[in-house]
Amino acid sequence: MASLADRLDGVNRAVGSAVRWLAVAMVALQFAIVLLRYVFGVSFIFLDEGVLYMHCALFMLGAGYTLLLDGHVRVDIFYGRWSARGKARMDAWGAGLALLPGLLVIAWYTWPFVFNSWKNLDGAISVGGIPASFLLKSLIPAFCLLLAVQGLACLLRDLARLKSSES
């Protein structure tokens, strides 16, 4: 189980290593937008939407990587005081009963929306914007897939921890 979990981790590790550069690109583009607007007096809607697209991609594609690094917010009123076995049990329950089914529901109900967007090749959000909002909407199933892959890796690791502590 641990080797499968490690391979699943590799997916989000690779995506996270690539997606993190969107933060740098987003800051550079926002700087260029401010410079163009306030120094040269020109503005381009597609550049503003570029920041939006990068921001969405950074958060949606980086969610699995954040889970890999255990960086998601958790309410740990009790969790922080639990043993490693108690934490593994709670994390396994959370992944199996909340995370993975929740992602399945999101993917199921948003798929027609994303499919129709690709079928129609939805255009720009605003006049003069990036004519590819179907790409933006595609981040929803990508988010579900990447977070589910990492959730499964965490679940496998937690189950292995619980099994090894029983022996």
107, 110, 114, 120: CA torsion to nearest 10: 150
CA distance 149 to 7: 10
Tens of pLDDT, residue by residue, the chain (167 residues): 889 999 999 999 999 999 999 999 999 999 999 999 999 999 999 999 999 999 999 999 999 999 999 998 877 788 888 999 999 999 999 999 999 999 999 999 999 999 999 999 999 989 999 999 999 999 999 999 999 999 999 999 999 999 987 65
Alpha-carbon separation of residue 21 from 53, 58, 132 (angstroms): 13, 9, 21
Q: Where are the domains of the chain?
A: 2-166
